[in-house]
Structure 1
Amino acid sequence: MTDTAPVSSVHRNRAPDRTGDRRSRIEAVDVETASRVRHLGALARRGLAGMYSGIDFPQTMRAVRTPSGTALHPEGHSPRYTAIAALGIGRLPTDIQRHILRGGTADDLVTSVLATAHDHHDTGVLALALWAAGEVRGSADPQVLEELRRRCTSGEPMLTVDCAWALTAAVSVRDRADTDDLIVLLTERLLAAQGPGGLFPHSLSSGPRHRIRDMKQIGRHHVGSFADQVYPLQALARTADAVGDTDALEAANATASRICAVQGSTGQWWWHYDSRTRSAARSVVERYPVYSVHQHAMAPMALFDLRECGGDDHIAAVESGVDWLFTHPESSADLVCDDRNVVWRKVGRREPRKAVRSLSAVTTAARPGLVLPGLDRAFPPGPVDNECRPYELGWLLYAWHPGSDAGESDA
């Protein structure tokens, strides 16, 4: 763990209640960013209404060419994204929920997700379902909790994101179920995996006996995505608030400090990081794509949680990240598409699929911070990915909780 600035005191032995403080988030940022966030919130409400199937949410909405022009086409189904949509929509007044969900509510979505999660192979689905049950309906599904507990205590390797979601879920139902042992276990697992610069790898080993079985992973086991930083940051901040764990708060501060230190000059939250290095200058493995959801939702969500749980204040970084959506220098194409009620997914490179990430993972595995010269010239950023996933809009609503403007008409 790197040294961090002194932290504020935390509230001990108290489950967090963010329904009030989230209402001030838009007011906490500058006037221009606040206006943009209100714009995005209204778009998200309309966008989710258009994505809802009447039962759940798709994996993505993709722009496709048709004989009559370009149209948004739903692809797949996703219980993960449905759970995240429930968390976001659950922050809104009931009448707005019914407008988005064709007469239903976020509680109805949670019922659907829990039914799916009971025998689901994906640990992330279990964690998100329990988290949504705790926050949206104020309950802890015993079957989902016990299956999640079994997987978390099995000693098997876990994805970092799944571990973080499980910890947040355990905190969210702490006043309705005995999850303190699970909170301690998952907190210790995240803290053990955190690198000296505050960053996390993509997966958490089960201990010294764990071996990487997939040869493709050998060259990039040190690499963690932006999601691998944000969700542990959020989970550790909430844990600190719930149980008074100052080590968790210090760890969350360290992660936030590092991702903010390497944030792009126009607000970009970069894609992949080297979890081994102490040096900020050597932390970024690959910058692109820059994902819109990182800018408008995931970074604000985690950094505001940290601030509200007694951690450091990174509002300037939040503002810069949101503003990038509207001022991005990489492309002249709009990312915020009001005509279709979406925010396009990302700005990437002109490259074969993930070529630069693969090259950068190999070079940084050989030596931290080693970057092949000329990559930006050979594979310049610019192409916009014309798809939008429901979780992106769900997290947007969850992160900002529109509050007083949530009742405005979206028609």
Structure 2
Amino acid sequence: MEAQISLPRELPQATRPVSLTDARLLAKLRGLAVDALRQMYQPQAGLFAFRLRLRDGRPVPEGLSPRYTAITLLGLVHEYPDAVRSTLHGDDPLALCERLATQVIQGGNLGDVALTLWAATLWGQDRPAEALRRRLLALLLPEGGYPTVELSWALMAATLDPVLIRNGCAERLAGRLLRAFQPDSGLFPHRVGGDGGMRGHVACFADVVYPIQALSTYHALTGEAAALAAARTCGERAVRNQGPDGQWWWHFDYRTGEPLERYPVYTVHQHGMGPMALAALADAGGPAFPAAVSKSLGWLAYTPEIDGSIIDWDHQLIWRKVARREPPKLARKLQAGLSYLHAGLRMPGLDGLLPPRTVDFECRPYELGWLLYAWPAE
């Protein structure tokens, strides 16, 4: 007997205006994402793999990831039932969500719990949401530092949860992010609270994307003007920093807002995270940046660093990133160290010394989950 797929609660979706060229590319990418996620789902474990990695000419699944499973569930929320059924090999997403909640409550960190609560809320899972809510509040009790990314996910979960709105959790989380925001640079730090040491001034693109998304959503539901103002300033800084061919660069100086090290360029930033954040900002009443989104997608179709496309249509995968040919993280360490000594110092000539021409032949399910979330079926 065919498994029955339960549907999430209906939520309004804003329009994502794109050009005809972008729309055609996105239609193909969405189909690719569903096919690739089907390869990544491990029905015996009830989780998505950590990644598919090219080995001897074919993609092979490796590991398991509760966090990536939660993000993929978010991406599937607004998919058509047939696509959900196909991706999960017939498994029920509600049952998957409940199993995942049990697992992360026992051993997950703030980010895992927040993402799973976010997914449970959107899928209409009240019972696991209640247990996840208690765990989230317990994890937030200490006054120590938290990664900006995880605080942003927690704010998204709290903003969409009526209980956490009423008890002030969402307001407190938004306040933490806003107090850490640097309006002069337009950036959030990599970590809210605590001393980051020699790398404390280094923020990454994820520290741009998720606060924009969370604060924009918080503003849309509460009307908090300071949240939209910070999200808008950060979004404008992100667009100013965008590369000439649509690249979203990777590391920035939190003090000045300027790029520190451009590579790697991650494909999930191009098709998922960048457009997702800018869409949330526009949905909340902030500016729309259609040209930046179009350039972001265009980099996937033609990736100038490799004089081709990073989309592998033969294997139906989008490879993870374009990186420098270098010892592990050498350029990032050099740029972080020099800029620690003085905000204006950079290592010159890196593109010649360490050319950005290396493709990372792996694909992770969360990347495709964010693609589907950013560009829902409707």
Q: Which structure 2 residues correspond to residues 69-148 of structure 1 after superposition, within 5 A?
A: 70-137=57-124, 139=126, 141-148=129-136
Amino acid across the alignment from 2:117: L
Gaps of 5+ in 2: 1-8
Amino acid across the alignment from 2:299: W
**C-alpha contact (below 8 Å) 2:302/2:310 kept by paired residues:** no
Specify the alignment match of 1:402 in structure 2: 377
Which among 234, 243, 249 is matched to residue 270 of structure 1?
Answer: 249
**C-alpha contact (below 8 Å) 2:164/2:170 kept by paired residues:** no
Report the 3-state secondary structure (helix = DSSP H, G, I; strand = E; otherwise coil) of the residue aligned with 1:37: helix
Gaps of 5+ in 1: 1-16, 404-411
Which stretches of structure 1, 4 residues or more, deviate above 4 A after TM superposition? 176-180
Specify the alignment match of 2:32 in structure 1: 43
Which among 228, 243, 253 is matched to residue 249 of structure 1?
Answer: 228
**C-alpha contact (below 8 Å) 1:82/1:109 kept by paired residues:** no
Over 3 Å counting, the alpha-carbon distance change for 1:19 and 1:36 in structure 2 is farther
Amino acid across the alignment from 1:99: S
**C-alpha contact (below 8 Å) 2:302/2:308 kept by paired residues:** no
Which among 318, 321, 326 is matched to residue 301 of structure 2?
Answer: 326
**C-alpha contact (below 8 Å) 2:165/2:171 kept by paired residues:** no
Deviation, structure 1 residue 304 = 0.5
Specify the alignment match of 2:3 in structure 1: none
Specify the alignment match of 2:262 in structure 1: 287
**C-alpha contact (below 8 Å) 2:247/2:299 kept by paired residues:** yes
CA distance in 1, matches of 2:157, 2:12: 20
Per-residue CA deviation, residues 355-403 of structure 1 (Å, 9 max, x unaligned), is 0001101111122132122222111111100000000011100100022
**C-alpha contact (below 8 Å) 2:37/2:368 kept by paired residues:** yes
TM-score (ref. length: structure 2):
0.93
CA distance in 2, matches of 1:360, 1:117: 36
Over 3 Å counting, the alpha-carbon distance change for 1:178 and 1:320 in structure 2 is closer
Report the 3-state secondary structure (helix = DSSP H, G, I; strand = E; otherwise coil) of the residue aligned with 1:21: coil
Deviation, structure 1 residue 138 = 5.0
Per-residue CA deviation, residues 245-273 of structure 1 (Å, 9 max, x unaligned), is 00000000011000100100000000011
Specify the alignment match of 1:363 in structure 2: 338
Deviation, structure 1 residue 323 = 0.6
Which among 41, 45, 55 is matched to residue 52 of structure 1?
Answer: 41
Name the count of aligned residue pairs.
Answer: 366
**C-alpha contact (below 8 Å) 1:335/1:343 kept by paired residues:** yes
CA distance in 1, matches of 2:344, 2:97: 43
CA distance in 1, matches of 2:266, 2:233: 22
CA distance in 2, matches of 1:56, 1:39: 25
Report the 3-state secondary structure (helix = DSSP H, G, I; strand = E; otherwise coil) of the residue aligned with 2:106: coil
**C-alpha contact (below 8 Å) 1:79/1:125 kept by paired residues:** yes
CA distance in 1, matches of 2:197, 2:288: 36
**C-alpha contact (below 8 Å) 2:187/2:254 kept by paired residues:** yes
Specify the alignment match of 2:6 in structure 1: none
Root mean square deviation, CA, Å: 1.6
Which among 23, 27, 32 is matched to residue 34 of structure 1?
Answer: 23
Report the 3-state secondary structure (helix = DSSP H, G, I; strand = E; otherwise coil) of the residue aligned with 2:322: strand
CA distance in 2, matches of 1:21, 1:97: 18
Specify the alignment match of 1:226 in structure 2: 205
Deviation, structure 1 residue 20 = 3.6
Deviation, structure 1 residue 39 = 0.9
Residues 1:351 and 2:322 aligned together: no
CA distance in 2, matches of 1:374, 1:53: 44
**C-alpha contact (below 8 Å) 1:110/1:132 kept by paired residues:** yes
**C-alpha contact (below 8 Å) 2:159/2:165 kept by paired residues:** no
Deviation, structure 1 residue 179 = 4.8
CA distance in 1, matches of 2:10, 2:220: 11
CA distance in 1, matches of 2:80, 2:10: 15
CA distance in 2, matches of 1:105, 1:315: 36
Between the two structures, name the one with larger relative contact order (CA 8 Å, sep ≥ 6): 1
Per-residue CA deviation, residues 179-213 of structure 1 (Å, 9 max, x unaligned), is 541111111111111122211111111xxxx4x4x
Report the 3-state secondary structure (helix = DSSP H, G, I; strand = E; otherwise coil) of the residue aligned with 1:356: helix
